[in-house]
Structure 1
Amino acid sequence: MHAVILAGGRGVRLRPYTTALPKPLVPIGEEYAILDIILQQLRAYGFDRATLAIGHLGSLIRAFVGDGSKWEIKVDYAEEKAPLSTIGPLLNFVDQLPEHFLVMNGDVLTDLDYTALLEHHVTSKAPLTVATYQRKVKIDFGTLATDDGGRIIDFVEKPVLSYGVSMGVYAMARKTLTPYPRNVPFGLDQLVLDLLSRGEEPAAFDFDGYWLDIGRPDDYDEANRCFEEVRSALLPTGRRPVPAPLDVIG
């Protein structure tokens, strides 16, 4: 039960919150770092090992997490010397990974059952399984469809569109990654498109619970605003927060 947590990004869209802290360490609910919540969840779902792919301000993440003993998870680290996108960091230590494993962004808040995702992946025999969420987008205007002659053939007033989006949580097979070169940037989009081009379709794991990707200040504000409402869903019972990141590193 091995999880890889991608925690090496610069968090540019979340500035100024990420000026002094890497995004996985920004506080939620004035008690927890995002990474604290994730590690608590992983342990509750039976994961006993985690590799943290770190880069920007990675020393602060090391200082906060240490060897993972506070969460009863064995933690090791893989440090990026240069940004390697989503999948690139994994290629540098793919030989150390088990046959099937979990990969997730270090800035995701969700009550997704990580074990169920991994089990679904193994059962499906897919090269990659992506946790997906239906995101609704409201268009504030009437939309038009036209033919080649420029005539309107359809009109819809303020439609609501629904798209399946990646949650930033995946299950993978080690053999899926072995053909790709190391030390070069390689994104999830490139992996998916390459698999599709070779007829190796990834699987989807649909989810309709709580999910928030903390990529922008509005997302971060929303996470703190609703934290008390979703606390019981996000946190295993009986666990105390690890001291706030600024207390540990400052």
Structure 2
Amino acid sequence: MLSIEQREYLLPKAYNAALRAGAVILETYSHAEDYAIDIKQDLTPITLADRQSHNLIKEYLGQTRIPILSEEGREMLYEERRGWDLFWMVDPLDGTKEFIKGNGEFTVNIALMADNEPVLAVIYVPYIRKIYFCDKCTGAFRKEEVAPDPKAELTQRQIMEQAQPLPVAKACNDPIRIAVSRSHNTEETFEHIDRMKEKFPKAEVIEQGSSYKFCLLAEGSIEYYIRTSNTYEWDTAAGELILSAAGGEVVSHPDRQKLRYNKESLLNPHFVCRSKFMPN
């Protein structure tokens, strides 16, 4: 268990790293001709912004002397990381396809993992200047109009100023809102939605890219999210903690088990998420 002093040192590190990464990402985002897009071994795209964000976060969080497992450092062997009791789980640019499309639906995901469970988390949505963060011991929060800052060095006190506890909503939406990925749906996704609509015929389906879906669930802006295509542990760790601390849940689909982290394979199972207000 981390002490209060440790949490109040490490959460600002993650928060400031996200703001700094957001700055470098938006700088590249404004120059589409310089994206330098390549395709990784898993056939997903990577851009200059992914690489720059990864390098920046790695350098900044390196001050903590806690190891980092990042999407852009995925080649790390299981034998090297299996014994870690504390490490950072990072997706330096979640929603690369949305970044390339130019729709602003991309995030920076940073989670601190203790005994392979998230205990601190930050998700920053730089294009819309919203940041979501969580300390497992004190709850989940949202701040708006938080500008990217290449020199961010905020303290715990400054971070908590004007922070809104999550969820923001007070009740379920009517009709309920169901989120799906904007770029990664399958036939199973739509079959699941059809079954949901038998119970909730007026349900609205909302497409949304990146881990921002977890934030919308935590806010109470949407009630449900189904994912039946590949994701990795860095796609979900921060979002799961933020959503769970806001009263929601993330479970594997269809067997409804808790997600596990730092596995030999970093692939997640399919999963569903429910907000605090999702009716049974």
* Pair member with larger Rg: 1
TM-score (norm 2): 0.23
Q: Give 1 or 2: higher strand fraction.
A: 1
Q: Which has the higher contact order (CA 8 A, sep 6+)?
A: 1
